[in-house]
Amino acid sequence: MSYGAICLTALLFIASSAVYASTPQRIISLSPHATELAFAAGLGDKLIAVSDYSDYPPAAQKLEKIANYKGINVDRIVALQPDLIITWPEGNPVREINKLKQMGFHLYASHVQTLADISKNLIDLSQFATNPSIGQQAAKTFNSQLKALKQRYSHQTPVRYFYQLSQKPIITVAQDNWPSEVFSFCGGKNVFGDSPSPYPQVGIEQVVLAQPDVIFTSEHAMTDGSMWQEWKNEIPAVGHHRVWSLHSDWLNRPTPRTLRAIKEVCQYFAQARENLTRK
C-alpha cells in the first residue's frame, strides 16, 4: 500500500470513529474556505447560512450571510437554530465562538495550515453528509493530484520570493502560515520567512533590502504591480519583469482549488528559473 493510501485510510478511520446522535441537517459556515470545503464534502444541500464572500460554488452566493471580518451575527444564528456550525479558529472572533460553544451549539473547527489539512477537513466534514463517499472521494482525488504535482515540481532550485497580500499597508506571510506552503511546495524561498509575526507588515525599504527574485501580489491588493515600478533598479524581481498577480481565491482559501494555485505558482517559478539561468 502506498504512503498516500495509508494516510487516507488512517484519516477515514479517524473520521468514522466519531459518533454523532444524528446527521446534521442545518449547517452554517463562518468563512469562505469552510463554505467551499462543505460543498466539496457533500454538505451543500444542508447549508442554511454562510459568511460574506462565500461565492464558490455559485450556489453559495444565494445563501444568507451571517458573518464577516467584523464579526458573527450570533443573534441571527440563534434564530436559525443550526445543528452544526463550521468555524474558522484563525479568523473568527474567539469571544463569539466561545459564546456559541457555551450556548451548546455543535461546532466543527476548520483548522487548515498545511496542504494535508485540506484532505483531512474534507474527510472530517464528510461524516456529516448524507453520502459520506462524496467528501471521501474529494479527499482521495485531491491527494492523488497533489502527489502528481509533487512528482513534477519537486527538487527544483529554490527561488527567492516576496508575496504581497495587501497594498496599504504592505502585508506579507511568514513561513508556516497559509498560504506559504503553496510557495514552498513549488520551491520558493520566502524572503520574510523568519518573521516572528505570522502576517508581518513591511515597508518598501525592507523589500528592497530583501532582494526577491520574484514578487507575487494578491489580485485583491493590486493587479499589475505598478507600485513597484519605480524600484526596478533596486529590486531584481521588478527589474527583470517578474512581478506577477495571483488568483487570490485559489491561493488564499485552502480548498480543493488550491491545486490550481499550486499549478499557477509552480509555472511562474519555472519561468523565473529560466530567466535566472540566462543571467
Cα separation, 133 vs 223, whole angstroms: 39
Reported as half-sphere exposure (CB side, CA atoms, 13 A), residue 260 has a value of 12
In the block, cell 524561498 appears at 189
Reported as half-sphere exposure (CB side, CA atoms, 13 A), residue 142 has a value of 28
The answer to whether 53 is annotated as binding is yes
**Residue 87, number of CB atoms within 10 A of its CB:** 24
The three three-digit cell numbers of residue 193, written as one number: 520567512
The three three-digit cell numbers of residue 61, written as one number: 452566493
Q: Are strands 47-51 and 107-109 parallel, antiparallel or unpaired?
A: unpaired
Reported as half-sphere exposure (CB side, CA atoms, 13 A), residue 31 has a value of 22
The three three-digit cell numbers of residue 107, written as one number: 461546532
Binding-site residue set for cyanocob(III)alamin: 53
Binding-site residue set: 53
